[in-house]
Structure 1
Amino acid sequence: MDSTPDADAELRRRVRQQEAVAELGQRALETDDIDRLLHEAVVVVSDVLETEYAELLELLPDGDEFFLRDGVGWREGLVGSATVPADTNSQAGITLRTEAPILVDDVESEERLSEPALLADHGVASGISVIVGSVDGPWGVLGAYATERREFTDHDATFLRSVANVLASALENERTWRELEEIYGRISDAFFALDEEWNFTYLNERAHELINPEGRTLVGKRVWNEFPEAMGQQFKLKYERAMYDQETVSFEEYYPEPLDSWFEVRAYPSETGLSVYFRDVTERKERERDLELFRTLLDHTTDSVLVIDPQSGRFLDANETACRQLGYDREELLELTVPDMDRVFDDIADWRSHVEDVKAENSMTITGEHVRKDGTTFPAEVNVAHVELDREYMIAIARDITEHRERERELEASNERLEQFAYAASHDLQEPLRMVSSYLQLIERRYGDAFDEDGEEFLAYAIDGAERMRGMIDGLLEYSRVETRGDPFEPVDLDRLLENVLEDLSLQLEETDAEVETESLPRVRGDASQLRQVFQNLLANALEYSGDEPPRVHVEATRRERGRWEISVTDEGIGIDPADQDRVFDVFQRLHSREEYDGTGIGLALCERIVERHDGEIWVESEPGEGSTFSVTLPAADESA
């Protein structure tokens, strides 16, 4: 079927009208700014109907006049001030009394209408108008007017009525919410009434809670006598101004001791006195003060400080140091998100997963590379904290750790040289020590019978010393090789590892009649061989230093934050004096004589070195005679990897 240009144009007009109504309806659902919605509506009406004028007339409470609430095209100064009679035969007046749209092709020739001055002064020739609301409860009239004669169609009328329905619904919703806010506001607010002589005539329960917690009788008492500190603040001045001008006043003011509180106050005057609604806003004022202090600190710290939206990852604020360090103007920086700046995060989803971790722990330290505007990078340590003030924030404090990294590299190189020296020195000592030990044993075999009792004792001391020296050198070699000779990290089953350790210690367990209780242990990530050394040393020490009673040892694991496990070995032995507990991890440190207990003094130092390689910690909690608990933290194995 062939279509004519006029038919195509009309179809496009109808589609445009439908789209405009849909968009306006969506805006009504999204916005809480009713004035903006009303203005957008009259603009849309004028644009879609292609008229020079559009108006939104609000019926005033007396019902005799309309108020030009909003409009387009009218002379400057009329919108928001002009009024139109409502009880006449004007187009707006007739529209108010009928549910059907009013379409006027020619204002001058329309006998049923009297032309109002507003339309006549603007040369209006044709118009279309509909009621906003219902005939029984009208809010006002929506209309569109053209300076040239034209025939508005039924589709135009349907469009205009649809817009009016959107506005009526939005206005009704706003009225309902205002009523609810007023009701709930008055219920939750404190309230008191004063007469013309400034005497209390009524106080609600909330008012007594806030300003009269001691329960004094206030009704009939003069407010300035009961609350003299108010005379030195804004209260007296504001209340007197409200009464003198007979106008509502709103203000915030601090009331000093004994109340020591900030109040938000609304005072409504009448001929017989003053009605005062107020609420305690001390907490909000303290938050504002904290924000102001934070802003001051933000501007003066030498660290880069960034305030971040937790959900979008967008920067909400940044201090001068951050802008300078990153090479951005502040306005440029606030257009970016965390993944734009930090190579730690792949995307917003990745950032949000880190946010949840931060919220769970309140803060977290992240090390990575905050990319500069010119594309260069620098290593940074970022402390991220979750903060709730007026809303949720993430506060990131970034420090350039370039120099720190350089010092770390220098320290690593120094440690490597020290390890090489320790290895070389201890390795070179092995050969002469083996020779000394061999010749001492040879002397014992060939000439043992020639020694008297003292000679045999001296020889035994010499052989024992050589053996202990060999053990110390072996331990020193192990200590020096922790970093350089360790195996790659992999998942380690601590249950199985502990079984192997107990097998190695089986002879010592039998000889001492020891009892070892173990709870279920986790899988951790580490060097299985080195971790075996750690637990073998800890268990061997628990057996060695058990005292006179058979050893009783307990091994357990506890899940810690940030993907770590804490494993503890507890004994009931002789214990360690608190003053000596730090020294037990030093190389060659012994707290007991060799005559009492065996050992080289390097076992716990080796444990500490191995645990540090696993990015963990080791410590002891003990009291003399009360046993000891040695604890280590190790990274959890990622089961999903």
Structure 2
Amino acid sequence: MDSTPDADAELRRRVRQQEIVAKLGQQALETDDLDRLLHEAVVAVSDVLETEYVELLELLPEGDEFFLRDGVGWHEGLVGSTTVPADTNSQAGITLRTEAPIVVDDVQSEDRLSEPALLTDHGITSGISVIVGSVDEPWGVLGTYATEPREFTDRDATFLRSVANVLGSALENERTRRELEEIYGRISDAFFALDGDWNFTYLNERAHELINPDGKTLVGKRVWDEFPEAMGQQFKAEYERAMYDQETVSFEEYYPDPLGRWFEVRAYPSETGLSVYFRDITERKERQRELELFRTLLDHSNDSVLVIDPGSGRFLDANETACRRLGYDREELLDLTVPEMDHVFDDVADWHTHVEDVKDEGSMTITGEHVRKDGTTYPAEVNVAHVELDREYMIAIARDITEHRERERALEESNERLEQFAYAASHDLQEPLRMVSSYLQLLERRYADEFDEDGEEFLDYAVDGAERMREMIDGLLAYSRVETRGDPFEPVDLDCLLEDVLDDLSLQLEETDAEVETEPLPRVRGDASQLRQVFQNLLANALEYSGPEPPRVHLEAAQREGAMWEVSVVDEGIGIDPEDQDRVFDVFQRLHSREEYDGTGIGLALCERIVERHDGEIWVESEPGEGSTFSVTLPAADESAA
């Protein structure tokens, strides 16, 4: 049958309407620009139905007003800013309560309708409106209008309804997407979603931070194409197992470079894809590896290593050496506290005071008595440190110092015997030496006139030798008495002490035309009498070994790290060869002949012994012909000030 022109035109309109609906539906699936979709939809409605006006009204949350979200034909400035009442008697209001399109051929003849000013101000006569969404959960209304009376067909209404359905689906998807984003945004873990073809459909911000630092577009991309290294790890096998078995999987895995991170992963399957939650556990893994290494070192250490809870003082861990030395099984030891095992601490309160001290210092070394399970004790030197891991710990490394104590006692006994011997030898030598000196003096008084020139020279040698022997015995006696005859330590003002030393050396200073310059010196803690010997010897040496020029000596002090002062005596004398600098502190060591310079060779050895008694050090820095600097370290009188 031949078609008529009207039939052909109607067919073309129907085909066009179907094409438009299909095009909008495809666009709704592909685009993430909802506003563009809404605008293109209202333009298409106006074009296909040949109407002057189209409105897309969004129902506001309160439910009593519409917002003109988009439209065609309205006066400038109205779209996107105008609201109209959701009057129950208006065409839009009635549309909200029915799923069927509302068709009005002539507004003037519809007494039951009360149209808002938006329509009447634009001379609207006829139109169609449909609900967007559902009656139970309406989003709004889509309407199209003409200024002339017009009979809209059922096909026109069906077309408008189809467009509204497309928009309703798009709006629902957008609402769901925003809800998911809000939910995922509250998730502290990284999250991404995959569809059934392993394509990314969503990644939250944390996921981008961890696996997509370059900001690539991942949505719509296949996970294995974007992260090929995952195929050789557990990731692919576990994701496939979750998807195919429809079972949740959890695992830890390392993703190699370029990410180079450890991840803890939980994958939840569904019929449409996979939801993957993951977190970066690289630091935890590194700490775990360090702890494993620490455990290996602990078990192979010859020292006792104990991990302690700072609050209770209870042992949290112990190595095999600690258990063996203390005589406990590991489980038994972990039931004890530090105050129960170490006699240094009276109770837990005393332990807490110690913990605060360690926190302030960072680490501390203490000496105490450890109690074995059988009740016996042994001395231990313990280095305690405070650690900032997942919680607070005290790490104690204890060394059994029984053998050290025994060696110390043996050394002390040996030193004591040596001092007794030196004292006895010095004392016992004094009497025969006095007798020798007395008879030499008697010979000189009675028979000096009978000696020839050689005899007088021999007698002088004998007298001088006896005097030298006396000086050496006096020096040896002083050396042996440093530990046994020293005075208790007390604050010593080195400025005042130096004044006394210079008074004692006044004759030598005057004879050599010496100049001694000094900076303000500190207060130290020590034996004033012995420290006076130290500085008198150092200054006397500086004057003695000044060379042909008048002596120039300078004293200076500097605060050292910790509670010690460094005091130096600087001269411009003949200097000391580097090879001889260690020997100068040995007993009876002389670098020059007696004919060149006086001295017994015991003065610097005595200085070293005195300084060591004060827990200090003494050393020399010198070059031949360029003077010498003798430096000593001494404890500050007030450690808090230092």
Aligned counterparts of 1:410 and 1:180: Cα–Cα separation in 2:
77
Q: CA RMSD in A?
A: 4.0
Does structure 2 retain, via aligned residues, the 8 Å contact 1:557–1:565? no
Q: How does 1:619-634 map to 2 (within 5 A)?
A: 619-620=618-619, 622-624=621-623, 625=626, 627-634=628-635
Does structure 2 retain, via aligned residues, the 8 Å contact 1:538–1:569? no
Does structure 1 retain, via aligned residues, the 8 Å contact 2:184–2:191? no
Residue 229 of structure 1 pairs with residue 226 of structure 2: no
Match of 2:533 in 1: 533
By how many angstroms is 1:431 displaced?
3.4
Deviations 1:387-425 (A, max 9, x none): 343322222233333333333323322222222222222
By how many angstroms is 1:618 displaced?
0.9
Does structure 1 retain, via aligned residues, the 8 Å contact 2:185–2:204? no
Distance 1:185 1:438, change over 3 A: farther
Aligned counterparts of 2:199 and 2:233: Cα–Cα separation in 1:
19
Residue 352 of structure 1 pairs with residue 352 of structure 2: yes
- TM-score, normalization: structure 1? 0.60
Tell me which amino acid in the other structure corresponds to 1:310.
P
Distance 1:269 1:586, change over 3 A: farther
Unaligned runs of 5+ in 2: 1-180
Tell me which amino acid in the other structure corresponds to 1:565.
M
By how many angstroms is 1:559 displaced?
5.9
Does structure 1 retain, via aligned residues, the 8 Å contact 2:539–2:569? no
Q: How does 1:547-558 map to 2 (within 5 A)?
A: 548=549, 550-556=551-557, 558=559
Does structure 2 retain, via aligned residues, the 8 Å contact 1:250–1:267? yes
Match of 1:391 in 2: 391
Unaligned runs of 5+ in 1: 1-178
By how many angstroms is 1:254 displaced?
1.9
Match of 2:53 in 1: none
Q: How does 1:152-167 map to 2 (within 5 A)?
A: none
Match of 1:262 in 2: 262
Aligned counterparts of 2:240 and 2:324: Cα–Cα separation in 1:
52
Give secondary structure in 1 for the equivalent of 2:600.
coil
Distance 1:600 1:286, change over 3 A: farther
Does structure 2 retain, via aligned residues, the 8 Å contact 1:538–1:630? no
By how many angstroms is 1:476 displaced?
0.9
Aligned counterparts of 2:352 and 2:462: Cα–Cα separation in 1:
67
Give secondary structure in 2 for the equivalent of 1:370.
strand
Distance 1:465 1:337, change over 3 A: same
Q: How does 1:244-393 map to 2 (within 5 A)?
A: 244-245=244-245, 249-257=249-257, 259-267=259-267, 274=274, 276-393=276-393
By how many angstroms is 1:287 displaced?
1.7
By how many angstroms is 1:632 displaced?
2.0
Distance 1:197 1:550, change over 3 A: farther
Deviations 1:174-204 (A, max 9, x none): xxxxx99985763xx6666655544567777
Distance 1:484 1:229, change over 3 A: same
Aligned counterparts of 1:267 and 1:512: Cα–Cα separation in 2:
93
Match of 2:520 in 1: 519
By how many angstroms is 1:552 displaced?
3.4
Tell me which amino acid in the other structure corresponds to 1:566.
W
Match of 2:419 in 1: 419
Q: How does 1:397-546 map to 2 (within 5 A)?
A: 397-437=397-437, 447=448, 463-510=463-510, 511-524=512-525, 526-545=526-545
Give secondary structure in 1 for the equivalent of 2:378.
coil
Aligned counterparts of 1:259 and 1:448: Cα–Cα separation in 2:
107
Question: Which of the two has higher C-alpha Rg?
Answer: 2
Match of 1:571 in 2: 570
Q: How does 1:186-265 map to 2 (within 5 A)?
A: 186=188, 196-198=196-198, 222-225=222-225, 227-245=227-245, 249-257=249-257, 259-265=259-265
Aligned counterparts of 1:540 and 1:628: Cα–Cα separation in 2:
13
Aligned counterparts of 2:519 and 2:317: Cα–Cα separation in 1:
52
Tell me which amino acid in the other structure corresponds to 1:316.
L
Aligned counterparts of 1:523 and 1:557: Cα–Cα separation in 2:
12
Count of paired positions: 455
Distance 1:535 1:341, change over 3 A: farther
Aligned counterparts of 2:182 and 2:564: Cα–Cα separation in 1:
53
By how many angstroms is 1:478 displaced?
1.0
By how many angstroms is 1:585 displaced?
2.5
Distance 1:286 1:345, change over 3 A: same
Distance 1:412 1:242, change over 3 A: same
Distance 1:470 1:357, change over 3 A: farther
Distance 1:585 1:191, change over 3 A: farther
Does structure 1 retain, via aligned residues, the 8 Å contact 2:483–2:613? yes
By how many angstroms is 1:546 displaced?
5.0
Percent identity of paired positions between Structure 1 and Structure 2:
76
Distance 1:241 1:462, change over 3 A: farther
Aligned counterparts of 2:444 and 2:182: Cα–Cα separation in 1:
104
Aligned counterparts of 1:364 and 1:397: Cα–Cα separation in 2:
11
Aligned counterparts of 1:199 and 1:181: Cα–Cα separation in 2:
21
By how many angstroms is 1:307 displaced?
1.7
Give secondary structure in 2 for the equivalent of 1:265.
strand
Deviations 1:291-321 (A, max 9, x none): 2233333344443332212233222223344
